[in-house]
Amino acid sequence: MIAAVLGLAAGGLAGAGTLWWEERRERDDARRTWEAAVTTGPASGVDGATATSSLLAAVNPDQQVVPFSPLRGADVRALVHWCRSSDSRRVWRVAGDAGTGKTRLLLQAAHTLTEEGWRCGWVRRGKAADAVAAAALRGGSGPVLLVVDDADTQPDPGDLAAMLSAVANEPPEVRLRVVLAARDFGGWWGGLRERMDPAAHAGLKPPGSTHLTPMGSDVPGQQQLFQRAVNHYADHFGGAPPAVTLTGITNATPIAELHAAAASVAFHGLSGSVPISLALSRLFQSEETWWQSDAANWNVTFPLPVLQAAIAAAALIGADDKAQFVRRLRCLPGLASSPDERLSELALWLHQLYAQRGGEWLDPHLPARLAERYIASCVASRPSLPSALASAALLT
C-alpha cells in the first residue's frame, strides 16, 4: 500500500512538473515574441556615455534632462485617462510638427501607466502587426499600450494597416491601447485606412486625437521655457546657469530648438544676448568635434566633410544592416573608390555612435528637428550631396 501511495505521488509530481515546464516555456515564448516586436523606449542600444559626450543626444526627449512641463499636463492627462477608461476607442493619434514634444508626451504617459502595472512597448519598425499579436500572447499580464512613434515614416504601410485591423478584431475584454504619433494625419492616414480589412475598417472606432502646438503662447513665454531649460542643463553639465537672453525666437519656435539652445548655452557658458542661430551653430560645432574625436578612437580617419555626409545618410536613409550601408556609402562624395574595409569601419562607427530608433541597425536616435536643420545646412554648402543621397536611398 505504501508503495502504491508513493507511486501515485511520484506520478502526480511528474505531471505537475511537466505542466510547470510547459507554462514556463509559453511565458518565455511570449516574452521573446514581445521583445522581437517592441522596445522599452524610443531607441535601443543606448550608451550612457553618449548622452554626456553628445549635445544632440543630451537633448533627446528620453534623456529627460528637463522635467516634463506642466503646460502639457492636460494633454498627458487626457491620454492617460483614455487608456484607463472603458472608452471603446482603441486608437489615439498624436499630431504635431517636428520638435513640438510628441515623443516627450508619450514617454510621460507611458511612465505613468507603467507605474500602474501597464505593459508599454514602442513598436519596432515593420513589426506593428506582430506587436498586436505579442500583446495578445501576454494578455494575462495586464493592460498593454503600444506606441508607434513617427508613424508617418514607417517603411511598410501594409504593416500598420494590418496592425489596425488586428486591433479592431481584438475581443472587447482585451485591454489594448495603441497610440500613433506623426507630424500630421493627412493623405498617408487615409491610404492606410484603405489598406485595412474592410470588416475591420468598419469596426474600428474613430480614434481620439491630440494636436500639439508650440508651448509658449508668446515670446516672453518662450523665453521662460528657455530659461527653465538652461537651469536644468547647467545642472546636468555640472556648472552654474549663465545669465543669458535668447534672441531671434518667435512664439512658433519649437520646444526642441529652445532646449537645444539651452543645452548649448549651458555647455559653452554663453551669456548676454545670444541669437538662437548662434547657440545652435555652436551645438553643431561641438557635435562635429565629438564625431572627429570618437572616430579617431575607432581608427576611422575620414575628413570631416565625409563624416558629415555619412551622418546625413545615416539620419535620412539609414540601413537594415552593415552591408547595405556600405553600398550606400559608396554613393557619397569622396567615398566611391574607398576600400570595403574602410567603409565597413565607417559603417560600424556610425552604428555605435548613437542609439538606434525602432530597433533598426542604423537609424540614429536624434531630435528630428535638429537633425533636419543640420542636414539642410550641409546640403546648402554642398550642392552635390542631395543627388548622392538620392542615389544612395535607391540601393537595397
Q: Is the dihedral of CA 328, 329, 333, 337 positive or negative?
A: negative
Least confident segment among 116-125, 262-271, 355-364:
355-364
Question: Is 378 in contact with 385 (CB distance < 8 Å)?
Answer: yes
- Split at pLDDT 50, 70, 90, the class of 21 is low
Residue 6 confidence (pLDDT): 47
Look over the chain and give the mean of its residue pLDDT values, rounded to a whole number.
91
Question: Is 144 in contact with 138 (CB distance < 8 Å)?
Answer: yes
Q: How far is CA 373 from the centre of its chain?
A: 18
C-alpha cell at 57: 543626444
C-alpha cell at 119: 505593459
Output Rg (C-alpha) for the chain, integer angstroms: 24
Residue 69 confidence (pLDDT): 96
Please state whether the predicted TM-score (pTM) of the whole model is above 0.85.
yes
Average pLDDT score over residue span 332-336 = 95
Report the percent of the chain where pLDDT is more than 90: 83
Rounded Cα gap, residues 305 and 392, in angstroms: 17
Question: Is 146 in contact with 119 (CB distance < 8 Å)?
Answer: no
Grouping H, G, I as helix, E, B as strand and the rest as coil, residue 298 is: coil
Element (H, E) at 272: strand 272-275
Q: Angle 390-393-395 (CA atoms, 0-180°, nearest 5)?
A: 120
Average pLDDT score over residue span 9-25 = 59
CA-closest candidate to residue 44, choices 355, 390, 371: 355
